[in-house]
Chain A
């Protein structure tokens, strides 16, 4: 056979195999983690693992509830802060901003997206922890002595701190996807609304946002997924107190990813410990993949219709 054609066919086959690899990678990862976490799944009930808050590996107890709660607190706080900020910014960038201002803001968002998580953790430790400890918490414990503010933790290392840091980390993802979705809304519907005598804001609120709603939802879901899985930054500021269920935004929390990262050193020393930790990783994988699948499916549909 002609050597040119041979090259072509060979290249094609190699590339195809690589593509197959990508299609199967997620499942490979899931399978690998599942196999390694089998020992603990076999020895304890899955319900016990998820709902028990007793984490005492040396006694064979592997309850993940406190860690799941920690993740939920931190993620909820982060999203509460990030969603309004990012959606408002995205609307401003896509509908109201001058071209020059947009040229200035968009690179800044890209840089925010590229900052290392350890640096975010550093910033959290050095700037946000003192802020919470010295200003926010004293203020709240004086004026708002009730749930979810009352707490006995005065260190500043809390789910609130982690939530604030995480919110900033998640902003770029939500903003960039939401802004893309908003700009993709066709010009014609905006014209039609304005031609009826609506103001720009009415057009944005009742027409553009309506059309962009699924896409913005997808952006939020993808941001949520990111917040769920972030390890380093929350590890450094969330407090990581063992076996504590957070009852206040100022309480320390121990999110699931932080658990996985912290127990690295001791994993192999206690039986079933490594299986439990890898089970936690598997849970993280399953949850984030679910969020991602939903989010990307929505965005895929929009691209198809648009």
Chain B
């Protein structure tokens, strides 16, 4: 009898320890980001672009990267939404739940979710070469859109699964077409869920470096045209951290803080929205 309880207590301790380690990992990371980034943060950092000699210690900031990331994020999210939303709608409204077609599409979406971002970057690069484009904002948007599309589609799919099916039947019974049902009734119910998915995908999009490395290039100026290279926050951080100059590295820490705060705010917004979504579904 005692042996059983002894074993149980040993494992219980191990389990609690594991959970504590996992939770404190986040604390450790956040602590590091704030402790290193806060002292180096200045208003200049977020309002100026790199002036001459920025990377060897002279003046400037990362405004180019901040705006570049936001523009790529918005562009990629819009593009991914334009594909994910119709696809998920199609699966829920026009196809039966257990059809082979739906299962196949969902399966491939899951597989696409697992493709590493560097592979998307490499593919974006080959597509760029094929189309004769150079490193540009547009190429970056396209590649990041590819990366985040599976994430977005999955989130929207999960949101739509929570919407009760009877809604569908009553609409059809009243004589509307499926398309009308989709746009009017379901979107309203699904809207917060869709917004949450958009936010999560946006967060992933602006945080990724490997996909924009080959495709968006880098530049010190503010993003101007779709066909010129654009700077991104993750790459800006990467480059600044990689220099031998401590002042530049410090600025890298501050840039890391900016990116982290940005993503944290988006995460929290997404959580709050998703809670609201769950509460407002017609029961």
> A88, B118: Cβ atoms under 8 Å?
no
Instruction: Tell me whether B23 is interfacial, beta carbon within 8 Å.
Output: yes
If A85-B18, A108-B26, A236-B241 touch, whether A12 touches B119 (CB-CB below 8 Å) is no
> Which residues of B lie under 8 Å from residue A121 when comparing CB positions?
238, 241
Cα distance A12–B8 in the bound complex, in angstroms:
56
Q: Which one, A39-47, A140-148, A181-189, A226-234, is touching chain B?
A: A226-234
Report whether B105 and A19 are in contact in the complex, using a CB–CB cutoff of 8 Å: yes
A111 to B270, CA, bound (A): 11
Closest Cβ of chain B: how far from A52's Cβ, in Å? Answer: 22
Known: A15-B89, A18-B83, A125-B241. Contact between A85 and B8, CB under 8 A?
no
A162 within 8 A of B: no
Min distance, Cβ B80 to any Cβ of chain A, angstroms = 12
CB of B271 within 8 A of CB of A29, answer: no
Docked complex Cα distance between A236 and B86 (Å): 39
What separation, in Å, do the CA atoms of A33 and B5 have in the docked complex? 56
Taking CB as reference atom, which chain A residue is nearest B182?
A11
Is B195 an interface residue, CB under 8 A from the partner? no
A171 at the interface (CB under 8 A from B): yes
Residue of A nearest to B150 (CB): A22
CB contacts (< 8 Å) of B252 on chain A: these are 122
Q: How many residues of B contact A (CB 8 A)?
A: 84
If A122-B33, A199-B8 touch, does A225 touch B25 (CB 8 Å cutoff)? Answer: no
A25 and B111 alpha carbons, distance in the complex (Å): 10
Q: Which of A141-197 contact B (CB under 8 A)?
A: 168, 171, 175
Contacting residues, chain A, for B62 (C-beta < 8 A): none
Inter-chain contact A284/B118, CB cutoff 8 Å = yes
Decide yes or no: A228 and B259 within 8 Å by CB, A4-B180, A14-B86, A19-B101 being known contacts: no
List B contacts of A277 (CB < 8 A): 122
Stretch from A54-62, A246-254, A256-264 that touches the partner: A256-264
Separation in Å of the B146 CB from the closest CB of chain A? 8
Complex CA gap A11/B180 in Å reads 10
Partner of B179, one of A8, A125, A291: A8
- Chain B: minimal CB distance from A282 (Å): 8
Quick check: B119 and A281 within 8 Å, CB to CB?
Answer: yes
CA of A175 to CA of B33 in the docked complex: distance in angstroms? 24
Question: B204 interface residue, CB < 8 Å from A?
Answer: yes
At the interface, yes or no: A100 with Cβ under 8 Å from chain B?
no
**B241-264: which have CB < 8 Å to A?**
241, 252-253, 256, 259-260, 263-264
Collect the chain A residues with CB atoms within 8 Å of residue B4's CB.
199, 201-202
Instruction: State which of A16, A123, A231, A295 has its C-beta within 8 Å of the C-beta of B210.
Output: A231
Assess whether A22 is in contact with B105, with CB atoms less than 8 Å apart.
yes
Q: Are B204 and A201 in contact (CB under 8 A)?
A: no
Encoded as 1 (CB less than 8 Å from any B CB) or 0, chain A from 95 to 137 comes to 0110000000101111110111111111101110000000000
Q: Is A271 an interface residue (CB 8 A)?
A: no
Residue from A7, A86, A114, A127 within 8 A of B200 (CB atoms):
A114
Contact status B14-A126, CB under 8 Å: no
Q: Which chain B residues numbered 10 to 41 have a C-beta less than 8 Å away from chain A?
A: 11-12, 14-19, 21-23, 25-26, 28-29, 32-33, 36
Chain A residue with the shortest CB-CB distance to B119 = A285
Nearest A residue (CB) for B107: A296
| Cβ 8 A contact of B109, one of A22, A175, A199, A264 | A22
Specify the main secondary structure of chain B where it touches its partner.
helix
State whether the Cβ of B171 lies closer than 8 Å to any Cβ in chain A: no
Q: Are A231 and B114 in contact (CB under 8 A)?
A: no
CB atoms of A175 and B108 under 8 A apart: no
Q: A92 in the interface, Cβ–Cβ < 8 Å?
A: yes
- B17 CB, nearest partner CB in chain A, Å: 8
- Given A19-B101, A260-B118, CB of A117 within 8 Å of CB of B18: no
Beta-carbon contact of B26 and A23 below 8 Å: no
B52 within 8 A of A: no
Given A116-B259, A291-B114, A7-B267 contact (CB < 8 Å): no
Asked whether B207 lies within 8 Å of A117 as measured between CB atoms, the reply is: yes
B32 and A123 contacting across the interface, CB-CB below 8 Å: yes
- Cβ A116 vs Cβ B208 within 8 A: yes
Interface contact B253-A26, CB-CB below 8 Å: no
- Central interface residue in B122, B206, B241, by most chain A CB within 10 Å: B122
A285 CA to B114 CA in the complex, in Å? 9
User: Which one, B94, B109, B153, B209, contacts A117 given CB within 8 A?
Assistant: B209
- List of B residues within 8 angstroms of A200 by Cβ: 8
Within the assembled complex, what's the spacing in Å between the Cα atoms of A120 and B28? 11
Q: B94 touching A112 by the CB < 8 A rule?
A: no
The residues of B that contact A15 with a CB separation of less than 8 Å are 86-87, 89-90, 94
- Per-residue CB proximity of B109-134 to A under 8 Å, as 1/0? 11111111111101100110110000
**A75 interface hit (Cβ, 8 Å):** no
Q: Are B15 and A89 in contact (CB under 8 A)?
A: yes
- B139 within 8 A of partner (CB): no
Residue among B4, B18, B208, B264 with most chain A CB within 10 A: B18
Judge whether A242 is part of the interface by a CB distance below 8 angstroms: no
Beyond A21-B83, A125-B241, 9 additional pairs, beta carbon < 8 A: A33-B122, A85-B21, A116-B260, A118-B259, A126-B32, A200-B8, A231-B210, A260-B122, A281-B122
12 A-B pairs with CB atoms under 8 Å apart are: A7-B179, A22-B105, A22-B112, A26-B112, A118-B237, A118-B256, A200-B8, A231-B118, A236-B241, A281-B119, A288-B115, A291-B114
4 nearest CB pairs, A to B: A229-B116, A116-B207, A201-B8, A88-B18
